[in-house]
Chains A and B, each alone.
Chain A
Amino acid sequence: MRAAIEAKRCGVDVAVVSKLHPTRSHSGAAEGGINAALGNATDDSPESHTFDTVKGSDYLGDQDAIEIMCHEAPGDIFELEQMGAIFSRAADGRLAQRPFGAAGAPRTVYSADITGHVLIHVLFEQLVKHEVTVYEEFYCTQLVVDDGRCAGVLAWDIVRGGVHAIEADHVILATGGVGRMYYGTTNAFACTGDGMSLAWRAGVPLKDMEFMQFHPTTLKSNGVLITEGCRGEGGYLRNKDGERFMARDAPNAMELASRDVVSRAEWKEIADGRGVDGCVLLDLTHLGAKKINTRLPGSRELALDYAGVDPIKEPIPVRPGAHYHMGGVDVDIWGESIIPGLWAAGEAACVSVHGANRLGGNSLMETITFGRRAGRAAGERVREEGDANARIEAGVVADEERRLSALLRSDGGERPGVLREELAKSMYDKAGVFRTEEVLQEAREKVHELRQRARRLHLQDHGTLFNSDLVQALELQAMLECADCLVTGALARQESRGAHSRLDFTERDDDRWMKHTLATYDDGEVRLDYKPVTVTRFEPVVRSY
C-alpha cells in the first residue's frame, strides 16, 4: 500500500491486487513497533541505528541499504504520523519510544502493542484518499514477462472465479513472507510466499532464503506471537526451575538480546529438559496489572484467548516459532529486480537490510521506507519513459485458464492440507533453530518428495465460486518452492550466522561465507550462486550481547 500511494503521487495509473482485502494483510499483526532514531526518549542517531542493524544482521546486511533505511526512517515516521497514524505519546505530546532487543537506545515508535494494526489502517485510509483502485481477493497465479520485461500478472478471481489479465509496465511484489511452511509460526494463513514463488518461476533469484528468523515468544497452541515489547517493558524468561537462563548466553542484554540469540537459548533449555511442556516461561507478573493493562493489553488478551493464562497472575508458556523471512526476491536499493519493471518490497524482498537476522521493529520500517522508494522509483520511471505498452497475449491467458481448470478437476489422491502439514512439521523439525547436514538433507528429500506428490493433488471443490481448495493448492505450490530454496541454501552454507545455526559448523566463517546466497529457478530445480555483501563502514567483528 505504501508503494501504491507513492506511485499514485507520481501521477501514474496504479492498482493494488491482493488475495485479501488490504486491511487483512499480516502487517496488521505486528505488535511491538517501528524503529526510527527520532531521539525523543534519549539521544539517538541514524548512525547508531545503522550500527545496531549491521551488527544484528551478523554482517550479512548490505550496509548501503541499511544506511538508507536508518537515515530515511525518521522522515517516514513523521509522514505516517501526519497521515493520521495513532501512535503512543510521551507526556509532552511527542511520539513515545520504547527499548527493543539489540538496540542502543529506546528507538521503537509504537502504538501500545497494536502498531502494525494502526499502520495498516492508516495506509488503507490513504489508499482511499488517493483513490487507488483495489482488486481485492484476486490471487496472482503468474507474472508475465514479455521480451525480457515485466508485462503484468494473471490473477484468479477468488470470489467469482476466472482468470484475469492485469497488464502493467511495472509490478511491485509486496506479498510478505512464507512462515506457513513451518508448523510453529507466528504467521497468518496467508503467508505462503506467493510473490517469491512468482518471481522465482519468472527467473528472478531469491536471496538468502536459508535465513528464517524464529521469534522467541510464541504460543504453543497456535503460534501466535507475544510481542518483544513484553521484554522491552521488563519481562523475564525463566526455565522450569524459575531461573533466568539468558544469563548464560547474553549476560549483559539478558532478555533483550537479539532474537536469534534468545531463540537458541530457549531451544537449548527445552531440548535439555529444562522446559515446561515444550515451552519456557515468559514472566510479566512483576510488572503489575497497571503496566500490563496500559502498555501490553493486546498481549494479555492473546494469552487469555489462546493459552488460557492471565499474565498478571502467572507466566505465559512460550517457544520459538518461525516469524520473519530475512530472505526474499533479490532487489537493489530501489527495489528493482533483474527483470526490468519487476520490483519487490517488504518481507517478500531481500534488499538486504536484515542480513542473517532482523532486529525487532526493523521490519515495519523496512516495508515503509523501501515500499515508498519502490513506488517512487517505479512511478518516476513511468513518467520518464512513458507507456511501455505492456501487453499480455490472449494465448498466455488461455494457457493459464487451461492449467487452472485442469487443477480444479484434479483427483490424484493427495489433499493439499495433508501435504501442507507434512511440509510444516518436516521444516520445523529439520530446518529449525538448530541445523545439521543430516537433518537438512532429510528436509530436502522431504521437500522433493512433496513437490512430486503435489503434482497429483485431489481437489474436492471443483467449482469456481470462492474455492478455498484451489487457492490452498496454489499456495502449497508456492510454499514448496520457497522451502526447496531454503533447505538447499541452508545445506550449502557451512557456517553459523544469525538465524542460520549449524551444529556441525558452529562458527561464523567470513572468509568463505560472508556472501549472499542466490537461489535461481533451473528447470524446476534450485541452482545456487553467490554475490558479495556491500560493506561501507563497518568491518565484521565478533557479535556478542
Chain B
Amino acid sequence: MSVPNAHFTTLQGAYDVDLMEVTLRIRRYAGDGSRAETQSYTVEVPTTATLLDALDAVQNTRDGTLAYRKSCRMAVCGSCGMRMDGGAVLACKTAMKPFVDAGHVVTVSPMGNLPVIKDLVVDMTPFWQKVHAVKPFLDSSDVDPPEREWRVTPKQAALISKESLCIMCGCCVSECNSMESDPDFLGPAALAKAYRFVGDVRDGDTRNRLKDLSGAHGIWDCTRCYFCNQRCPKGVDPRDAIAKLGAEAFREGLTRDEGAKHAKVFVSSTYRGGYLRETELVPKTIGPIGAITQIPFALQLARAGKVPNPLSPHKAKDNAEVKRLWKLLEAQTPTTRERAARGDGAGA
C-alpha cells in the first residue's frame, strides 16, 4: 500500500552539522586521596558544541570512567559547575568554538572551595548547609494570609528579580576569596538567597534575618573582590546582594558588627573630610581597647612608611561635591523599605 505523503515521517537533514576537533586537558581525581593527574583527550564535536558536549564526547567515545555532573544542558539546573582554565563556569553554557579557533587547549578542573569526590564532581554538602543556615523560606507568619494572592507591585517584585535567577550551581562559591581563608563564611550563594527573602515584601522576618546575617561569617566578612559577580553564569550578582543586605542592616540599626562599624567609618570619614582618615579606622572599628593591642602592628606599618600623619589628616580643599554625591546616593539607594510597601496593598 502506498501511503500519501510518506516522506513526512523522517525529517531530512536532521543530523547535518559541521564538526570540529577539540582537545581538553582534564584534571582527574581518583577520589582515593591520590594526587590529581592531567589527561588530554581529543574528540570530534559539532561546531556549536559546549564544554559539556565535549565532555560527553569524551565519556561516550574515549573514557567511560570520567565523572562529572550534568542534567538540563541549558543553564538552569545548576549541575555542571566546574573550572575551566582556573575559573568557574557552567560547562553547558561555555561554547568551545572560540577556543578551538584560537588554538587554545583548555584545562578543566573541579570547582574550588568544595571537597573533591572524583574527577570534576565536588561534594556540595557544605554549600547546601550554608543555604539551609539562612532560613531559606518565606516567613509571613506574623500576619494573616490573604484569601487570594499577596499584592506585590511590579516595582516591589523587581527588588529581588536578580536574586531569583540563582540556580545554586556554586560557581560564585568556587571563586570566593573570603571562603578560601574562612571556610565558615556563609558565602555569596547563601547570602544572595538570604537577600531574596530580606528584599521580599511578603516576608515579615527581616530584622531577625539581618541580625543573624550580621554576625560572624556573615555579610561583613565579604572582601568585596567581586569574583562572584564576575563568575556568576546567571547575572545574579551576589556581591550586590551582599551590599544590599549591608544597607538593610544599617537601616535596621544593626551596626554592632566590626564589619558594619568599619563601613560606617568609611562613610563618615569621607563625608567629613573628603578623604578616608585611616587612623580613625582601627579604633572606631574594633574599639579603643582593641586598637591599643594593634599598636605594635601600627608601628610596624609606620616604619614601613604606610601610615599617614595622624596629626594632620588629609582633607579635601572643598568636599561640597562629595557631600552632594553622598546625598544623591542616599536618595537613589533602592530602599527595600519602599517596602513600607507591605502596608501599601499587600494582602488586599
Contacts and interface: CB of A to CB of B under 8 A. Distances in A.
Q: Please say whether chains A and B are actual partners in one complex.
A: yes
Interface of A: 20-21, 23-26, 28-29, 38, 77-78, 81-84, 86-95, 111, 114, 116-118, 121, 125-126, 128-129, 159, 183-184, 188-190, 221-222, 224-225, 267-268, 270-271, 277-278, 301-302, 305-308, 319, 415, 417-418, 421, 425, 428-430, 432-436, 438-439, 459-461, 463, 465-469, 503-504
14 contacts: A23-B77, A23-B167, A82-B202, A84-B203, A89-B152, A93-B150, A94-B148, A126-B137, A190-B71, A268-B5, A278-B11, A307-B48, A319-B11, A429-B11
B149 A24 contact: no
B81 to A, nearest CB: 11
A430 B1 CA distance: 18
Contacts of A114: 76, 164-165
A83 to B, nearest CB: 7
Interface in B50-82: 50, 53, 59-61, 63-68, 70-79
A359 to B, nearest CB: 22
A132 to B, nearest CB: 12
Interface stretch (B117-125, B263-271, B274-282): B117-125
A104 B147 CA distance: 25
Contacts of A21: 79, 124, 128
A428 B118 contact: no
B248 interface: no
Interface in B135-162: 136-138, 140, 145-154, 156-157, 160-161
A435 B3 CA distance: 10
Contact of A432 (B5, B9, B118, B132): B9
Contact of A81 (B6, B8, B150): B150
Contact of A183 (B14, B138, B156): B14
A418 B56 CA distance: 12
A387 to B, nearest CB: 30
Contacts of A468: 59, 64, 66-68
Contacts of B66: 468
A439 to B, nearest CB: 5
Contacts of A126: 137
Contacts of A305: 75, 93, 95
Interface in B247-278: none
Contacts of B31: 465-466
B204 to A, nearest CB: 12
A436 B3 CA distance: 8
A222 B48 contact: yes
A415 B64 contact: yes
B132 A117 contact: no
Given A224-B73, A267-B11, A417 B60 contact: yes
Given A26-B72, A184-B14, A468-B67, A94 B149 contact: yes
B137 A84 contact: yes
Contact of B153 (A91, A221, A308, A433): A91
B71 A86 contact: no
A188 B71 contact: yes
B200 A84 contact: yes
Contact of A278 (B12, B65, B79, B348): B12
Nearest to B348: A93
B334 interface: no
Interface-centre pick from A91, A190, A267, A434 (highest chain B CB count, 10 A): A434
Given A29-B76, A305-B95, A503-B3, A270 B152 contact: no
B332 interface: no
A436 B6 contact: yes
B64 A469 contact: yes
Contacts of A189: 70-73
Contact of B71 (A24, A38, A117): A24
B46 interface: yes
Contacts of A438: 3, 6
Given A77-B149, A435-B9, A465-B118, 6 more contacts: A24-B78, A224-B74, A305-B75, A306-B74, A459-B64, A468-B66
B13 interface: yes
B306 interface: no
Contacts of B17: 221
Contacts of A86: 157, 160-161, 164, 200
B101 interface: no
A73 to B, nearest CB: 13
Contacts of A271: 7-8, 11-12
A278 B76 contact: no
Given A432-B11, A503-B4, A20 B77 contact: yes
A463 B65 contact: yes
B16 interface: yes
B16 A278 contact: yes
B151 A92 contact: yes
B183 interface: no
B152 A20 contact: no
A189 to B, nearest CB: 5
Contact of A117 (B9, B138, B167, B197): B167
Given A29-B76, A118-B164, A93 B151 contact: yes
B131 to A, nearest CB: 8
Contacts of A278: 11-14, 16
Given A78-B149, A184-B14, A466-B118, A83 B73 contact: no
Q: Rank and list the top 3 A-B pairs by shortest CB-CB distance, nearest first.
A: A460-B64, A84-B138, A93-B151
A88 B93 CA distance: 26
B78 A89 contact: no
Contacts of A89: 152-154, 157
A125 B164 contact: no
Contacts of B149: 77-78, 81-82, 87, 94-95
A190 B13 CA distance: 26
A504 B6 CA distance: 8
B54 to A, nearest CB: 13
Interface in B320-348: 345-346, 348
A117 B5 contact: no
Nearest to A90: B154
A24 to B, nearest CB: 4
A86 B154 CA distance: 11
Contacts of B76: 28-29, 114, 116-117
A86 B119 CA distance: 36
B168 interface: yes
Contacts of B8: 267-268, 271, 433-434, 503
